[in-house]
């Protein structure tokens, strides 16, 4: 898959009434290079409409587009890939449906899950939640930056740190070995979305290189 560093996930409860497309375009203009549509409440049809609009936006800016959960929606809009949790379709079955060329990302909370995802051919893994987060209801206890260290020293596929990451704690995440970070609230809930993303982009460019 195309290299990425700054990953933003939609979270419309944080958008402060702003339009989904405006919010995500600001994030892209600030340096986000991969976007995920994550919507746990809308109907399938609504998710599809949002996915179509985001596909158009991400094409325009040459940014990678991932859909959470809905493989059918991902295929219908020709998204670049899908993101799946531990309780979603198993990776091998998702791969059969999606084909070899699409990206499959898997959420992991433990090194055993990371190993399994890598062996089964995931394109990247999510590593988290690193810190406490209010953005996910069924979230497990924070895995802490120790889990980042474990993954960084052992796993060879790309991984992205997620969960409670903010401007004030991102240094800890990078120091533990993460070179890619993913956020919902700190990005889409920001008053100045583009400005916040520019700060993260700069931090990743300067401190993320090891
Ligand atoms: N998966 C693990 S933590 C999380 C997801 C989707 C929520 C991240 O949101 P935030 O607002 O960046 O903590
Ligand atoms: Mg899921």
Task: Give residue-wise pLDDT tens across range 95-106.
Answer: 999 999 999 999
Task: Give residue-wise pLDDT tens across range 115-162.
Answer: 999 999 999 999 999 999 989 877 689 999 999 999 999 999 999 999
Domain assignment present for residue 173? The answer is yes
Domain assignment present for residue 190? The answer is yes
For the chain, the domain total comes to 1
Domain assignment present for residue 1? The answer is no
Phi, psi angles (nearest 5°) of residue 107: -75, 135
CA of 27 to the centre of ligand 2 (A): 23
Banded pLDDT at 208 (limits 50, 70, 90) = low
pTM above the 0.90 mark? yes
Domain assignment present for residue 87? The answer is yes
CA–CA separation, 147 and 209 (whole Å): 19
Q: Check whether 69 has a pLDDT greater than 60.
A: yes
Domain assignment present for residue 67? The answer is yes
Over residues 157-175, the mean pLDDT reads 98
CATH number, domain containing residue 45: 3.20.20.70
Q: Cβ < 6 Å from ligand 1: which residues?
A: 9, 107, 128-129, 133, 135-136, 139, 162-165, 183-186
CA of 60 to the centre of ligand 1 (A): 26
Task: Give residue-wise pLDDT tens across range 29-65.
Answer: 999 999 999 999 999 999 999 999 999 999 999 999 9
Q: Where are the alpha helices (DSSP H) in 91-192?
A: 91-98, 111-119, 144-154, 170-175, 185-188
Q: Check whether 207 has a pLDDT greater than 80.
A: no
Domain range spanning residue 40? 6-207
Q: Which residues are catalytic?
A: 38, 107, 136
């Amino acid at each position: 898959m195309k290299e990425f560093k700054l990953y933003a996930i939609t979270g419309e409860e944080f958008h402060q009434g702003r339009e989904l497309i405006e919010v995500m375009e600001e994030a892209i203009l600030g340096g986000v290079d991969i976007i995920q549509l994550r919507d746990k409440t809308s109907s399938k049809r609504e998710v599809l409409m949002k996915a179509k609009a985001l596909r158009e936006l991400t094409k325009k800016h040459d940014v990678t587009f991932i859909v959470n959960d809905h493989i059918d929606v991902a295929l219908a809009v020709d998204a670049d890939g899908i993101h799946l949790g531990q309780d979603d379709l198993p990776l091998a079955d998702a791969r059969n449906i999606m084909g070899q060329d699409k990206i499959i990302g898997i959420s992991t909370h433990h090194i055993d899950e990371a190993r399994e995802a890598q062996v089964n051919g995931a394109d990247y893994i999510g590593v988290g939640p690193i810190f406490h987060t209010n953005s996910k209801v069924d979230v497990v206890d924070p895995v802490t930056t120790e889990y980042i260290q474990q993954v960084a020293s052992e796993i060879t596929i790309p991984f992205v740190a997620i969960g409670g990451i903010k401007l004030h704690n991102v240094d800890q995440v990078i120091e533990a070995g993460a070179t890619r970070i993913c956020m919902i609230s700190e990005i889409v809930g920001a008053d100045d979305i583009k400005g916040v993303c520019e700060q993260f982009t700069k931090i990743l460019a300067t401190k993320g290189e090891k």
